[in-house]
């Protein structure tokens, strides 16, 4: 499990997935080819299932495109930990079943090389030796996240 | 304690009094999608094979983003959408050439005061200009809404923005909203509702309110909303369509309050690569541009095109600049044709684009080369936004766009 750390704030949707591909790439395999292409060109090669992304504030601001959340979920990214998230991105992550943890303290505490683990059911984030509790999601959102995303939740609940 | 617009509106939908932070389930009046409908159809069909959408009359689809199709893949996407709307009986379908969704839906009176509209497009917040609770969602959620007709919202806290005074000549609503974003920052209103108050509001026309509400998302806002008044009912040609309008109580609780004197606003630009990187045009070092783009859902209305022409005063676009002009919709295009505006732009050396998003999202019709600089009237200047990560996008008003087109450098429209 590796941590991919991007210290800057306001990492927007164009940096996560350039707008020029939005109407030609919609599936997991198509999306991952361009994921984070203008932010971290080596990302695709180094990322592995179970990895964590750590970033500054307002992560995912900009467009409503869901390729960033869909692509990261497809790659098996375990969680994104940021100082804060943009609203549509946050909502989209729940819809994809991708765990987001907002913890400015944990991001500030982190130094590259620290081990990071997340336990969503206990609401505990560990960075190196320190623990950072985070509040549980409201039940409605937790149900969608646990079902693996909104459409799975709809299927399971026959709504 | 009184209630905010968001509390009243979501409370009405939920049938109870709601507080910020509460989750409520709502049935939006309309779900907007555009070229991305093709991908949403895929999600819909894999979740509900052979199924029908729950409320075909609550779905609006506008093909606007890459129109006419730039590649066969785009064309196949459009074709898939046409087939789907026919099969599903979706009547609010607007094909290539109708214009940008955020212009077309208001023109069709589909974004009404007191209504709830969600869209798989972040600038859905534009409809706040009409007192609509309007916000962006992703494609997956749009597919979910086609199936269930419902979604959830967290009741947001609200920021009050007070506007007083009058804009000076050469200064526009675009300069005002960019100044506000520069002050609040690109996450200054994250998760929050923004309400516009103050004596200046009644003097802001619909196209100006649309420009302002359109950029609410650029400071993270969930909604950016105006009261419904005479200007709203005049636009809708109807008082009856305004009957569901809501507004916050005088003693509503706002989490933050900001005051802006319109008389102090000057022409500004947002410098690369963030929308809150705002400075007065007059503070910029000499900045040569290769392209000027006048249009988009932010500034593609006939009033915007006219204001730009008034700055140009018959002068031509300098040879070093490519000027692209696109009306936001077919209706706006027709108005511009009838008023002779299009002819004047053509004679001045501009290239006219069909109604639609044009180069705003970097897919076609004016993509930049590495190292090039564009002054655009759009709402976003992110790295790579216009198709090339090593290009530089400055955002400005239609007036600043015009002054820049005739001089070749980013220019304060009051100086030409
Ligand atoms: S004009 Fe630009 S910002 Fe507006 S809807 Fe189209 S792509 Fe989005």
CA of B342 to the centre of ligand 1 (A): 21
Torsion region of B110: left, alpha or beta (phi above 0 gives left; psi -120 to 50 gives alpha) = alpha
Has residue B102 got a pLDDT over 90? yes
- Write down the domain spans for chain A: 3-156
B30-56 pLDDT, tens digit each: 999 999 999 999 999 999 999 999 999
Residue B364 Cα distances to A24, B78, B160, B229, B345, angstroms: 13, 16, 38, 39, 21
CA of B11 to the centre of ligand 1 (A): 31
The shortest CB-CB distance from A61 to any of B46, B137, B186 is to: B186
Mean pLDDT of B9-22: 94
CA of A144 to the centre of ligand 1 (A): 30
Q: What is the pLDDT of residue B326?
A: 98
Token pair of B146, please? 């086609």
Cβ neighbours, 10 Å, residue B293: 31
- Which band of pLDDT confidence, cut at 50, 70 and 90, is reported for residue B310? very high
B189-243 pLDDT, tens digit each: 999 999 999 999 999 999 999 999 999 999 999 999 999 999 999 999 999 999 9
Q: In sequence order, what are the residues at sequence separation of 6 or more whose Cβ sits closer than 8 angstroms to the Cβ of residue B242?
A: B112, B113, B114, B131, B228, B232, B233, B236
B257 with B162: CB under 8 angstroms?
yes
Q: What is the pLDDT of residue A141?
A: 86
Mean pLDDT of B340-363: 97
**Residues framing ligand 1 (Cβ under 6 A):** B 65, 100, 102, 121, 123, 296-297, 357, 360-361, 378-379
DSSP at B2: B
Closest CA to B171 of B351, B415, B391, B360: B415
CATH code for the structural domain at A3-156: 3.20.19.10
Q: Give which of B66, B149, B187 to mutate to test A binding, by max A Cβ within 10 Å.
A: B187
**What average pLDDT is seen over chain B?**
97
- Which band of pLDDT confidence, cut at 50, 70 and 90, is reported for residue B270? very high
- Which band of pLDDT confidence, cut at 50, 70 and 90, is reported for residue B16? very high
Burial of B280 (0-12, 13-18, 19+ CB in 10 A): middle
Q: From the CA of A141, how many Å to the nearest CA of chain B? A: 9
Q: What is the pLDDT of residue B170?
A: 97
Closest CA to B395 of B412, B379, B413, B372: B379
Please list the residues that pair with B135 across neighbouring strands.
B118
Token pair of B52, please? 């029908």
Give the three-class secondary structure for B200.
coil
Tell me what ipTM this predicted complex has.
0.90
Mean pLDDT of B3-29: 95
Residue B259, phi then psi, degrees to nearest 5? -120, 135
B106-120 pLDDT, tens digit each: 999 999 999 999 999
Q: CB–CB of A20 and B136 under 8 A? A: no
Closest CA to A8 of B187, B403, B12: B187
Q: From the CA of B246, how many Å to the nearest CA of chain A? A: 24
- Which band of pLDDT confidence, cut at 50, 70 and 90, is reported for residue B416? very high
- Which atom of ligand 1 is found nearest the CA of B328? 1
The shortest CB-CB distance from B140 to any of A12, A63, A96 is to: A96
d(CA B115, CA B113): 6
Closest CA to B21 of A137, A99, A142: A137
- Tell me the H-state helices in B89-169: 101-107, 139-148
Q: What is the pLDDT of residue B274?
A: 96
CA closest to B49 among chain A residues: A155
Return the number of CB contacts < 8 Å for A and B. Answer: 132
Mean pLDDT of B70-89: 97
- Which band of pLDDT confidence, cut at 50, 70 and 90, is reported for residue B139? very high
Has residue B58 got a pLDDT over 80? yes
% of residues, chain B, pLDDT over 70: 100
Q: CB–CB of A86 and B274 under 8 A? A: no
CA closest to B368 among chain A residues: A20
Q: Which residues in chain A touch residue B144, judged by CB atoms under 8 angstroms apart?
A: 95, 150-151, 154
B357 with B323: CB under 8 angstroms?
no
CA closest to A152 among chain B residues: B47
B265 with B179: CB under 8 angstroms?
yes
Q: What is the pLDDT of residue B161?
A: 98
Handedness of CA B81, B87, B88, B90 (dihedral sign): positive
Q: What is the pLDDT of residue B372?
A: 98
Q: CB–CB of A22 and B363 under 8 A? A: yes
Q: From the CA of A40, how many Å to the nearest CA of chain B? A: 13
Q: Residue whose CA is closest, atom 4 of ligand 1?
A: B297
**How do the pLDDT tens digits run along chain A, 159 residues long?**
899 999 999 999 999 999 889 888 888 999 999 999 999 999 999 999 999 999 999 999 988 899 999 999 999 999 999 999 999 999 999 999 999 999 999 999 999 999 999 998 888 999 999 999 998 888 888 899 999 999 999 999 876
The shortest CB-CB distance from B384 to any of A18, A61, A64 is to: A18
Q: What is the pLDDT of residue B1?
A: 85
Has residue B164 got a pLDDT over 90? yes
DSSP at B3: -
Q: What is the pLDDT of residue B150?
A: 95
Mean pLDDT of B365-388: 96
How many alpha carbons lie under 13 Å from residue B372 in its C-beta half-sphere? 19
Q: From the CA of B26, how many Å to the nearest CA of chain A? A: 13
Give the three-class secondary structure for B322.
strand
Give, for B386, the enclosing helix (H) or strand (E): none
Q: CB–CB of B141 and A92 under 8 A? A: yes
With the CA atoms of B84, B88, B89 and B91 taken in that order, what torsion angle do they form, in degrees rounded to the nearest 10? Answer: -50
């Amino acid at each position: 499990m590796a941590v991919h750390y991007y210290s800057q704030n306001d990492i927007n949707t164009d940096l996560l997935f350039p707008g020029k591909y939005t109407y030609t790439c919609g599936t997991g395999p198509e999306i991952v080819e361009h994921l984070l292409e203008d932010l971290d060109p080596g990302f695709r090669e180094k990322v592995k299932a179970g990895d964590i992304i750590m970033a500054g504030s307002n992560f995912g601001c900009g467009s409503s495109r869901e390729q960033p959340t869909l692509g990261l979920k497809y790659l098996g990214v375990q969680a994104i930990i940021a100082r804060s998230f943009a609203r549509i991105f946050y909502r989209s992550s729940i819809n994809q079943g991708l765990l987001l943890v907002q913890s400015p303290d944990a991001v500030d505490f982190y130094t590259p090389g620290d081990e990071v683990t997340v336990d969503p059911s206990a609401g505990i984030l560990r960075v190196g030796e320190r623990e950072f509790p985070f509040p549980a999601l409201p039940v409605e959102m937790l149900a969608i996240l646990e079902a693996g995303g909104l459409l799975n939740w709809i299927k399971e609940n026959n709504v | 304690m009184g209630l905010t617009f968001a509390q009243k509106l979501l409370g009405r939908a939920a049938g109870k009094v709601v507080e910020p932070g509460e989750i409520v389930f709502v049935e939006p009046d309309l779900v907007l999608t555009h070229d991305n409908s093709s991908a949403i159809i895929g999600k819909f069909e894999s979740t509900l094979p052979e199924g029908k959408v729950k409320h075909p009359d609550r779905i609006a689809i506008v093909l606007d983003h890459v129109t006419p199709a730039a590649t066969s893949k785009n064309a196949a996407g459009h074709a898939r959408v046409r087939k789907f709307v026919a099969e599903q009986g979706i009547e609010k379908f607007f094909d290539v050439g109708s214009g940008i969704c955020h212009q077309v839906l208001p023109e069709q009176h589909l974004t009404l005061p007191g209504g709830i509209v969600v869209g798989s497009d972040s600038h859905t917040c534009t409809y706040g200009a009409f007192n609509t609770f309007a916000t962006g969602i992703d494609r997956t959620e749009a597919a979910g809404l086609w199936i269930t007709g419902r979604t959830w919202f967290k009741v947001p806290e609200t920021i009050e923005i007070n506007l007083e005074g009058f804009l000076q000549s050469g200064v526009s609503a675009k300069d005002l909203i960019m100044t506000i974003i520069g002050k609040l920052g690109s996450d200054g209103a994250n998760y929050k509702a923004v309400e516009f108050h103050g004596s200046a509001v009644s003097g802001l026309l619909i196209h100006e309110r649309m420009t302002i509400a359109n950029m609410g998302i650029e400071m993270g806002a969930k909604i950016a909303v105006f009261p419904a008044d005479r200007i709203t009912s005049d636009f809708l040609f109807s008082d009856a369509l305004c009957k569901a309008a809501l507004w916050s109580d005088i003693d509503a609780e706002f989490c933050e309050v900001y005051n802006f004197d319109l008389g102090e606003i000057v022409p500004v630009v947002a410098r690369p690569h963030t929308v809150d990187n705002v400075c007065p045009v007059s503070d910029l070092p000499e900045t040569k541009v290769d392209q000027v783009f006048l249009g988009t859902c932010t500034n593609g209305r006939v009033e915007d095109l006219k204001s730009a022409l008034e700055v140009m005063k018959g002068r031509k676009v300098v040879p070093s600049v490519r000027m692209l002009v696109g009306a936001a919709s077919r209706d706006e295009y027709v108005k511009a044709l009838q008023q002779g505006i299009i002819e004047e732009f053509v004679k001045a050396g501009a290239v006219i684009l069909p109604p639609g998003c044009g180069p705003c999202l970097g897919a076609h019709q004016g993509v930049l080369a590495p190292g090039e600089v564009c002054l655009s009237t759009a709402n976003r200047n992110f790295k790579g936004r216009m198709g090339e990560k090593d290009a530089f996008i400055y955002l400005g008003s239609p007036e600043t766009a015009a002054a820049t087109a005739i001089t070749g450098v980013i220019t304060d429209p009051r100086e030409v």
